[in-house]
Copies of this chain bind each other. A is one copy, B any other.
């Protein structure tokens, strides 16, 4: 039985990324964002939704750039802290002991310690209410080499120990339940047939 609640933001779990922005060291900033995700595969596009009162809002509006840095267990504390403190009052890179790293395509810095940095250029700003959605085209993806297989170059993202955010708490990723398409592949196909899902 379900209970009806009034409308609220309830998509869970969501990413908890550290977005970095700025076009010169003196205005570099980081902001923790959970209202983020992929919105298109080709061309690859992502979004971040930001309240106009946040310090980063004006920076991104002016520069038209942001970087989505994925976060992991080692960055969990910085991720939380950068979500509750403002770049107006703190040099967040310095306070968190993180390193602004020159990005490849955009002027906005990447976070050196992040496993993956996704450079984005704003193509559209959609005002929605409490938040404006910044739609960005992905212009570069930088991947920490320690997560790449030295032989094949394949990314083993499980090694990065990414974190996620659900209903007010940060979580490590747990057990892997299956890879995309597992229910119709190989040995698991038997299960599908057993469940009557196989169709001619």
A interface residue numbers (CB < 8 A to B) = 1-15, 17, 34-47, 49, 68, 70, 73, 76-77, 80-81, 83-85, 89-90, 95-97, 101, 104, 110, 112, 116-118, 124, 126, 128-131, 133, 135, 137-145, 148, 155, 157-158, 162-184, 191-192, 195-197, 199
Q: Is the CB of A13 within 8 A of B13?
A: yes
Given known contacts A36-B37, A129-B42, A5 and B177 CB-to-CB distance under 8 angstroms? no
Q: Is the CB of B138 within 8 A of A7?
A: yes
- Nearest Cβ distance between residue A114 and chain B, in whole angstroms? 9
Q: Is the CB of B11 within 8 A of A38?
A: yes
Partner of A85, one of B68, B130, B162, B184: B184
Partner of A89, one of B49, B73, B175, B199: B199
